[in-house]
Amino acid sequence: MNKDTRFKPEIMAPAGDVSSYLAALAAGADAIYVGLKHFSARMQAKNFSIGDLSALASLGRERGTKTYVAMNTLVKPSDPESAGRLIQRLARSVRPNALIVQDLAMLELARQAGFKGELHISTLANATHPAALAAAARLGASRVVLPRELNLDEVRDMAKACPKGLQLELFVHGALCHCVSGRCYWSSFLGGKSGLRGRCVQPCRRMYRQANADAKRLFSCMDLSLDVLTKPLLDIPQVGSWKIEGRKKGPHYVFYTVSAYRMLRDNPKDAQTKKAAMDLLEQALGRPSSHSVFLPQRPFTPVKPEDETSSGLMVGQIKRDGAKFHFVSREELLPGDLIRVGYEDQMGHRTLSIRRRVPKRGRFDIPRPKDPKKPAPRIGAKVFLVDRREKELTKIIRELENELKNHAAAEPVESTFSPTMPKGMAQKNKARTRLMHVNRSLPKGRIEGRPALWLERSSLQRVSRQTIPRTTWWLPPVIWPEEEIKYRRLLRDAQRHGAQTFVLNSPWQAELFRDRKAELIAGPYCNAANHLALDALKKMGFSSAIISPELPAEDVIALTKRTPMPLGMVVKGLWPFGISRILAAEVKEEAPIKSPMNEVAWVRKYGQNHWIFPGWEIDLTPEMRKLERAGIRTFVHLHEPWPKAVPRPKRTSTFNWNNNLL
């Protein structure tokens, strides 16, 4: 019998709890990614203790399934010791095959803590263009998780540039964020719950309105489902992993999606298998899905404000009968099924467990909330089945639970790990204080301090040859694959005319200067938030860093102590909620958009990206003296032309300066 030698990428399943991990095993996942109670970008999932995970990983190894642990959050100045200890305990007790990381500090902490597995660069790290892959490999990464915004041609471009020994991972199914991963500050800006720290409250899922139109979900994305479009990926061996998103999902979703993508991978030419796989995906209880932008010849904007984008299968609508609220179910409901009443941002929203079978067209009475202060459900609110408990799957999971009993949880292991921190720079090397005003084009009249411009062909052409060398040139926060050639040419032309100083807004952009001499400054979108990350940037060729204004005062001050390089900070200007590659046709650019709380936002397009700005600026200028005393040496003002249709605000924001960033 001939052995099947075709290339087969791994099917990588999500698991937010024990049942979902076992469901992934039952479905035949090749790898399962999980999070711990800390340092996980899905902190809303139940997640695992090290003891629980050690037993599960042992069972996984026995069945030939890899376990990956996501430690993919931003690392604050006080985090390296606890993060390193956690990695050391993981290495000893769980022995995961890989860590998935966002922050450059985690790469160094893993090495210091003695972790021997692979290191995977999270999509939150924003490696969006081909040169980024070489930089990631040079830092010791084994794999890079690609952005969900890439189309098939761009995936191929990334694969062509993939260095030997580096593998790519691609999302094939699950929730989509409206903003580019690692470039969203929306949740953080509106309340200190940072998406980069795994605490996103999903403000993009809310209702928004423009002008006199009704409120709609203008930024709420449908799910991604590449389904049959995964077939071309089988010809791209560099894409070694198909990733399914959903660590907050239940075992039903995990089992159905993993089973479907295994079928699509193993039998790509079989029409009956494809149909069966599609049927499974339709029953997986995700949100309405699309292929998004994956087909370059037929890109689709995965935002349909008129349609539902809630997860789950709608099974009824709330009615009132006297004092009782109920719904008539469109589907049979089984004991253990979970239903959600309404949307997460609606009054009276609840998730309930079904206690006894409800037949199709049967009535289900909504129990009164135990807390009398909680609001009753809205009449007309939709009810969604969000997780199933089929007898067959429940039986399989119970059998695996019995197997799991043979794999004892590891005894608690103490760690005395203490990270080796970089040396602080000598006092005499600290730069003088300066202001940096960053513009889209040179303003008329006298320029205060050194001019700074976003690097574009138009700005380069409008600046005199004498001004180019004195200008600090800013690269964008996101460079897409086909844009890399454009920026290589712009850098060549700028340096040919004497440009010397560049602010890079992704660490990976340093690779564009591999054979060039220049002064490189890490921009605020590099999200540098701890000393080890700053040291990594220094080793990559950066001479200084502008830290993100997302950090609160306590962390900013801590970062200035014993810093390995001079630091700057954005103290005034328009800081975006986020940067997106998509925009619904219903959203008008340069016009006010209002949230349910009457918060104003507006959108402007630059290149391929839509910048979503709040209707007010950040202003930390009253803190400048305190920052200067702490050691901040560059103060950045971001200048953005104000849209005529958006009213000038009376308010400003201090972002998270006075918050405890979660």
For 240-386, where are the alpha helices, taking DSSP H only?
A: 251-266, 271-282
* pLDDT number for residue 1: 43
User: DSSP label at 469?
Assistant: G
Tokens of 302: 């995965």
Give the integer Cα–Cα distance in Å for 641 and 485. Answer: 28
Query: pLDDT band at 106, cuts 50/70/90?
Result: very high
Place of tokens 């007790």: 93
Output Rg (C-alpha) for the chain, integer angstroms. 25
What band does 75 get if pLDDT is binned at 50, 70 and 90? very high
% of residues, the chain, pLDDT over 90? 83
Residue type, 285: L
Query: What is the residue whose two structure tokens read 């935002």?
Result: 303
Q: Would you tell me which CATH number, out of the four given (3.20.20.70, 3.10.450.230, 3.30.413.10, 3.40.50.1860), belongs to the domain 427-575+617-638?
A: 3.20.20.70
Total-model pTM: 0.94
Distance CA 103, CA 107 (A): 8
Residue 7 banded pLDDT, cuts 50, 70, 90: confident
User: Residue 553: is it exposed, middle or buried by C-beta count within 10 angstroms (0-12/13-18/19+)?
Assistant: middle
Instruction: Tell me the domain boundaries of the chain.
Output: 10-176+222-285, 313-387, 427-575+617-638
In this prediction, residue 46 carries a pLDDT of 65
Please report, to the nearest 10 degrees, the dihedral formed by the alpha carbons of residues 463, 469, 471, 477 taken in order: 100
Q: Which amino acid is at 542?
A: F
DSSP reduced 3-state for 542: strand
CATH of domain 10-176+222-285: 3.20.20.70
Condensed to tens digits (0 to 9), the pLDDT of residues 10-48 reads 999 999 999 999 999 999 999 999 999 888 766 555 678
Quick one: average pLDDT of 586-596? Answer: 95
Q: Is 107 within 8 Å of 93 (Cβ atoms)?
A: no
pLDDT at 231: 97
Query: Packing angle between helix 251-266 and helix 271-282, nearest 10 degrees?
Result: 160
Residue 504 pLDDT: 98
With a cut of 70, say whether residue 637 has pLDDT above it: yes
Q: Which helix (H) or strand (E) holds 70?
A: strand 66-71
User: Once rounded to an integer, what is the mean pLDDT over residues 190-198?
Assistant: 90
Query: Are the C-beta atoms of 601 and 612 separated by less than 8 Å?
Result: yes
Q: Are 388 and 256 in contact (CB under 8 A)?
A: no
User: Can you give the pLDDT at residue 427?
Assistant: 62
Beta bridge partners of 15: none
> At a CB cut-off of 8 Å and minimum separation 6, what does 412 contact?
50, 51
pLDDT score of 302 more than 70: yes
Residue 390's CB: how many other CB atoms inside 10 A?
Answer: 16
- Convert the pLDDT of each residue in 568-586 to its tens digit: 999 999 999 999 999 999 9
* Whether the predicted pLDDT of 443 surpasses 50: yes
Among candidate residues 22, 96, 29, 91, the one with its CA nearest the CA of residue 64: 29
Judge residue 265's burial from the number of C-beta atoms within 10 Å of its C-beta, 0-12 exposed, 13-18 middle, 19 or more buried.
Answer: buried
Structural tokens at position 283: 């029953």
pLDDT digits over 241-285, tens only?
A: 999 999 989 999 999 999 999 999 999 999 999 999 999 999 999
| Alpha-carbon span 219 to 331, nearest angstrom | 30
* CA–CA separation, 491 and 299 (whole Å): 30
| Count of alpha carbons within 13 angstroms of residue 22, beta-carbon side | 18
CATH classification (class only), 313-387: mainly beta
Structure tokens at 47: 């997640």
- Burial (CB count <10 Å: 0-12, 13-18, 19+), residue 627: buried
Same fold, 10-176+222-285 and 427-575+617-638: yes
CB neighbour list of residue 342: distance below 8 Å, 6 or more residues apart = 318, 348, 349, 350, 377, 378, 381, 382, 383
For residue 426, pLDDT over 90 is answered with no
Distance, CA of 394 to chain centre: 32
Say what the pLDDT of residue 507 is.
98
pLDDT at residue number 633: 94
The 10 Å Cβ neighbour count of residue 445 is: 6
Lowest mean pLDDT among 140-144, 349-353, 358-362, 447-451: 447-451
Shortest CA distance to 174 belongs to which of 274, 52, 302, 298?
302
Integer Cα distance of 123 and 118 in angstroms: 16
CB 479 within 8 A of CB 128: yes
Distances (CA, A) of 186 to 146, 612, 647: 22, 9, 20
418/436 Cα distance (integer angstroms): 37
Q: How many CB atoms sit inside 10 A of residue 422's CB?
A: 18
Cα distance between residue 269 and residue 224, in whole Å: 22
DSSP classification of residue 656: T
Determine contact, residues 199/43, Cβ cutoff 8 Å: yes
3-state secondary structure 623-650: HHHHHHHHCEEEEEEECCCCCCCCCCCC
CB 326 within 8 A of CB 366: yes
